[in-house]
Amino acid sequence: MKVHELARSEQVSAATIRHYVRVGLLQPRKGSNGYHVFAEPEQRRLRFIRQARGLGFTLEDIQTILQDAEKGQSPCPTVRQLIEPRLQQAREKLEAMQALVERMENAVASWQEQPDCQPCGDHICLLIEGSDHTEQNRGGDASHE
Amino acid sequence: MKVHELARSEQVSAATIRHYVRVGLLQPRKGSNGYHVFAEPEQRRLRFIRQARGLGFTLEDIQTILQDAEKGQSPCPTVRQLIEPRLQQAREKLEAMQALVERMENAVASWQEQPDCQPCGDHICLLIEGSDHTEQNRGGDASHE
DNA sequence: TGTTGACCTGAGAGTAAGGCTCAGGTTTAT
DNA sequence: ATAAACCTGAGCCTTACTCTCAGGTCAACA
Ligand SMILES: [Zn+2]
Ligand SMILES: [Zn+2]
Ligand SMILES: [Zn+2]
Ligand SMILES: [Zn+2]
């Protein structure tokens, strides 16, 4: 199996496989012509990497896990340990994305009723600067333009 | 105002301000000693940048917007146009994060009842490889270990 | 006046996970 | 023989910073 063949068979880009080879996650044999030769174990390894990526592990996590397995240890304790901070981070990112989408949607909605602002030196763009879109606008010098 | 003073007054890191200077988003005057001098307009500019970032614009988007405003044009049309793909991308990322967190939580939950796997040559880690955690496991050669 | 310590500068590298490009080697078919 | 198609490693690009570094500046104190 050459890079592109493996890539097709596992639904990843050849660039991704090259990247894994580069960082040492995959170690294919080299044929006499210099071409990479991927056999069964490498293919299973790639499948494993993709599954682990799908569960939020980083490539470095996966390195650690694979190294455990290669030393004949059960990687499970490492796996159970590594997923905790990843899950925590994923939850945080999820919340951040929820908040962001909400802010963006509120902004777009309120912009429908706002006219384009004209440059006047004391602001840059009122669509953006007047984005108290999460809190209710406290009545102040809002009648700016 | 020097970098650290501006940083404190606007709640960003000095490194961030340096970064903005480096990419041209901020163009402070230089004092005779070579130090940056941030005055009112630069401070408002920074505030604007932060608000735009909070709405999901990229630094490049913000460059474009600021350049509009500097040319005396109203940046609003650009703003309305630029936010669309950003919102789209944010929604996609949000969905991806929701799916990821769900997969991770399902995995962690099911792992509670799974024992650590022992290396046996035909798998790497069953916690990860047996992650049909989204679909129901179709009964097959599941009695592997 | 000398020196210390705090602050400042630009440049450069690092981050995660690949994507893209390049020059050059190989294979296959004409 | 030669051209098309494929392969290789190396290196730079992406985002929005963050960190590090060598060297310049400044205030205070002896
Ligand atoms: Zn105005
Ligand atoms: Zn505007
Ligand atoms: Zn087994
Ligand atoms: Zn395991």
**Does the nearest atom of strand C lie within 7 Å of B4's Cβ?**
yes
How many Cβ atoms are within 10 Å of B52's Cβ, its own excluded? Answer: 25
A9 and A72 assigned to the same domain: yes
**Does the nearest atom of strand D lie within 7 Å of A14's Cβ?**
yes
Q: What is the pLDDT of residue A131?
A: 59
Domain, as residue range, for B105: 86-138
- B138: DSSP letter: P
**Mean pLDDT calculated for residue range B48-53:** 97
Do the domain assignments include residue A15?
yes
A91 and A134 assigned to the same domain: yes
Per residue in A2-13, pLDDT (tens digit) is 999 999 999 999
> d(Cα B140, Cα B24) in Å, to the nearest integer?
60
Q: Label residue B102 by pLDDT band (50, 70, 90).
A: very high
How many Cβ atoms are within 10 Å of A63's Cβ, its own excluded? Answer: 15
Domain count, chain A: 2
Q: Integer distance in angstroms from CA A43 to C1' D6?
A: 21
- Determine the distance from the C-alpha atom of residue B100 to the mean position of all C-alpha atoms in its chain, rounded to a whole number: 16
B69 and B92 assigned to the same domain: no
Do the domain assignments include residue B68?
yes
B103 and B52 assigned to the same domain: no
pTM for this structure? 0.88
Do the domain assignments include residue B90?
yes
Pairing of strands A29-30, B36-37: unpaired
B70 and B19 assigned to the same domain: yes
B96 and B128 assigned to the same domain: yes
Do the domain assignments include residue B106?
yes
**Does the nearest atom of strand C lie within 7 Å of B3's Cβ?**
yes
**pLDDT at position B136 over 80:** no
**pLDDT at position A36 over 60:** yes
Q: Are A77 and B45 a contacting pair at CB < 8 A?
A: no
> d(Cα A62, Cα A25) in Å, to the nearest integer?
8
Identify residue B6 by its one-letter amino acid code: L
B90 and B69 assigned to the same domain: no
Residue A64, domain CATH: 1.10.1660.10
A118 and A67 assigned to the same domain: no
> d(Cα B89, Cα B122) in Å, to the nearest integer?
40
Do the domain assignments include residue A128?
yes
Q: Are B54 and A131 a contacting pair at CB < 8 A?
A: yes
**pLDDT at position A134 over 80:** no
B62 and B94 assigned to the same domain: no
B101 and B42 assigned to the same domain: no
A24 and A68 assigned to the same domain: yes
Of A77, A108, A130, the one marking the end of a domain is: A77
Q: Label residue A130 by pLDDT band (50, 70, 90).
A: confident
Per residue in A80-92, pLDDT (tens digit) is 999 999 999 999 9
What is the token pair recorded at A11?
């639904």
Do the domain assignments include residue B143?
no
**Mean pLDDT calculated for residue range B112-138:** 78
